[in-house]
Amino acid sequence: MFYEIKEGKVMLRLKAQPSAGKNEFRGLYGEEAVKVRIQAPAVEGAANKALVKFLAKSFKIPKSKIVIKSGETSKFKTVTFPLTEAFWAWAEKIEKND
């Protein structure tokens, strides 16, 4: 599973693709991660900042509540954030499409 929920928090595994044409989710990457495309290049943390901003907008949570737990310098990342209704709706859509 590409996410876990514990104590009201989501732990989401991502495979990030920096320098993409637009910010978007691209479905499951195997069964253990979701592929996400980010416009910003992987230079001096720009892609990580853009990823946090994209996730905050997508799941309707403040940027300050999103934490990159692992993968700061890797394409494979684990992020945590509070569980929201927007996340549930998104997760159901991702699971149905793949």
- CATH number of 11's domain: 3.30.1200.10
Percentage with pLDDT > 90 across the chain: 93
The closest alpha carbon to 9, from 87, 84, 82, belongs to 82
Is 82 among the domain residues?
no
Is 92 among the domain residues?
no
Considering only CA atoms, give the Rg of the chain. 12
Is 22 among the domain residues?
yes
What is the residue range of 47's domain? 3-72
pLDDT for 17 equals 97
Is 41 among the domain residues?
yes
pLDDT for 98 equals 62
* Average pLDDT of the residues of the chain: 95
Is 53 among the domain residues?
yes
Q: Please list the residues that pair with 37 across neighbouring strands.
A: 17, 24
Is 39 among the domain residues?
yes
pLDDT band at 88 (very low <50, low <70, confident <90, very high): very high
22-47: burial string, b at 16+ Cβ within 10 Å, e else: ebebeebbeeebbbbbbebebeeeeb
Is 48 among the domain residues?
yes
Q: How many domains does the chain have?
A: 1
Q: Which two tokens stand for residue 28?
A: 């499951």
Is 85 among the domain residues?
no
